[in-house]
Chain A
């Protein structure tokens, strides 16, 4: 190998490496941990949903809730009071289901955005999806009354919110593309600019609004599940479920992306396709959710953050875990919103922000046991 005169330096004696603490059991433990955490979160989510069904102006014990649900799907378990049945199945169940759907959507899209931007502070508002939905919804609220809409507002509002989410996201995405590539910093900046534009348009709508419309606008801005119906659930769930089914396929690629775009590409990740799919899934999830709930802040930021601090940044756990945790947080927040000041309802967004923000700050001060985010 070397020519005379270029003799290799004598090998430096290397100390014996410490015995490796690794083996097949590590793999099993890692796999088991993912399933354990996801399983635990799923059970917790079911419990929270049951709480949401049982608590309220009329308290129904968990066992009774279960009986009513079983009765609802045709299993006879004994006499069921009509009133209980009405409260659980007609009033609370659609609301709880919508809460799970919205929470899961916000959680998973928060995790997707933080992975895409490689920034733990990213959330779906960055790509304009939330402000687009708000703009769509507010247009219907203010102009719908005078514009003579053929459709009823119950359909037009979520439809326009969803459309607004997709259109604004598409606009931001289009602005950030150059030579067939999407630059993530440009995406961020385009998002900020388009968000500002959407805000100003929302301001114009607020100026045009009557007093009654203004109240509705405020309510929508602060978010609520008060309008939950089964129709809303069936319209919101498919989009969210589709995203939940698709997201796990991105986990490995998003993990690689944390190393940087160049490194991810060298690891065989089609980075441009990954960005496209991630943004599309986020728009779909948030569009499906926000269309029915209004803007609910902090859930998308908090859920992935919390999981990352506890279990590290592996997206195989993070994506679905954030959906489950988001569903839990939103169900509990909604429960609080309708019970704390009953019969008055506190808008959901006020609660998630009022409780979420201090908690988030506390987490930031504490930092993760694994260092970093």
Chain B
């Protein structure tokens, strides 16, 4: 169980998050959406512990994050940044195995490798295992990094909550991998992991998230089921676009598309 209570973050006079509260059950996928500067990444940075909420608290499995040790947290919580800064020529397998760093004193290399192998299958990077990481394309690197964070929290001790934080994991992926990656994330969540994923693509968010959190200027505009959050009104207002409902006839899939900026550019990319 992930629970945020009245989380506020201020940098100088600017309020990046104000009074953000919500709860997520294990196995649920939360899609975080909102315009640029809405506080999506700030929220992730609070969840990774990089920013301390003042006031407010975050707890995982009933324990406050701030009170857990770095080592304990590393076995329960993994974070995939938008861009990984790895300039050294590890092989893909070595990068994925780095995910087992928090467990290295407790398990044999054989176990680590088994887990890494399964995570690579889930992230669809198995054929790349022996390739040098730096020779991969941006999208391939992103999938390898996903395999690394899956590896990190692949198995939880009994009764331990696990939390996976993903910052735009589909940003540089092709269409097929956008979908295969997010459905892999869903399958991973089903093993009892709470997933918080920042997404820009509302269609992907609608399809793969159990719940959505719509942020604007650090405040919650909507939290809940997709159809309650992604209303025409909410989307038009928060993103400053003219939006429409589209239903795919064959599957009944309902999407929101934007046809252009809203006539009055009152909102939009304002930070």
Select the stretch in A43-51, A187-195, A224-232, A306-314 that faces chain B: A306-314
CB of A332 within 8 A of chain B?
A: no
CB of A75 within 8 A of chain B?
A: no
CB <8 Å contact, A312 and B94: yes
Bound: A8/B225 CA distance, A:
14
CB <8 Å contact, B254 and A22: no
CB of B75 within 8 A of chain A?
A: yes
Total contacts A-B at CB 8 Å: 147
CB of B126 within 8 A of chain A?
A: yes
Bound: A27/B89 CA distance, A:
19
CB <8 Å contact, B124 and A17: yes
B93 to chain A, nearest CB (A): 7
Bound: A17/B117 CA distance, A:
12
List residues of chain A with CB within 8 A of the CB of B127.
Answer: 17-18
CB <8 Å contact, A31 and B101: no
**Chain B 3-62 residues near chain A, CB threshold 8 A:** 48-50
Q: Mark A212-234, 1 if CB is under 8 A from B, else 0.
A: 00000000000000000000000
By beta carbon, the residue of chain A nearest B77 is A266
List residues of chain B with CB within 8 A of the CB of A267.
Answer: 74, 98-99, 101-102, 152
Bound: A126/B58 CA distance, A:
40
CB of B191 within 8 A of chain A?
A: no
- Do A3 and B225 contact each other (CB < 8 Å), given the known contacts A12-B179, A21-B130? yes
CB of A24 within 8 A of chain B?
A: yes
- Do A268 and B129 contact each other (CB < 8 Å), given the known contacts A312-B94, A371-B135? no
CB <8 Å contact, B101 and A252: yes
CB of B134 within 8 A of chain A?
A: yes
**Chain B 243-270 residues near chain A, CB threshold 8 A:** 247, 251-254
Interface residue count on the B side (C-beta < 8 Å): 58
Select the stretch in A59-67, A202-210, A255-263, A339-347 that faces chain B: A255-263
CB <8 Å contact, B121 and A17: yes
CB of A9 within 8 A of chain B?
A: yes
The listed residue (B102, B132, B176, B183) touching A268 by CB distance below 8 A is: B102
Q: Mark B159-201, 1 if CB is under 8 A from A, else 0.
A: 0000000000000000010011001000000000000000000
Query: Using a CB–CB distance below 8 Å, which chain A residues touch chain B?
Result: 1-12, 14, 17-18, 20-22, 24, 26-27, 30-31, 118, 120, 252-253, 255-256, 258-260, 262-263, 265-270, 308, 312-314, 368, 370-373
Query: Using a CB–CB distance below 8 Å, which chain B residues touch chain A?
Result: 48-50, 70-71, 73-75, 77-79, 81, 84-91, 93-94, 98-99, 101-102, 104, 109-110, 113, 117, 120-121, 124, 126-127, 129-130, 132, 134-135, 152, 176, 179-180, 183, 206-208, 210, 225-227, 247, 251-254
Q: List 30 A-B contacts (CB under 8 A).
A: A2-B207, A3-B227, A5-B254, A6-B225, A6-B254, A7-B253, A8-B208, A9-B179, A10-B251, A18-B127, A20-B129, A22-B93, A24-B113, A30-B109, A255-B101, A258-B90, A259-B86, A263-B81, A265-B49, A266-B77, A268-B75, A312-B90, A312-B94, A313-B90, A370-B89, A371-B135, A372-B88, A372-B132, A373-B87, A373-B88
Shortest beta-carbon contacts, A-B, top 6: A268-B74, A370-B89, A268-B102, A313-B88, A372-B134, A372-B89
Query: Besides the contacts A266-B48, A312-B91, what 12 more A-B pairs have beta carbons closer than 8 Å?
Result: A1-B210, A5-B227, A7-B251, A7-B253, A12-B179, A17-B121, A267-B102, A268-B70, A268-B71, A270-B70, A372-B89, A373-B87
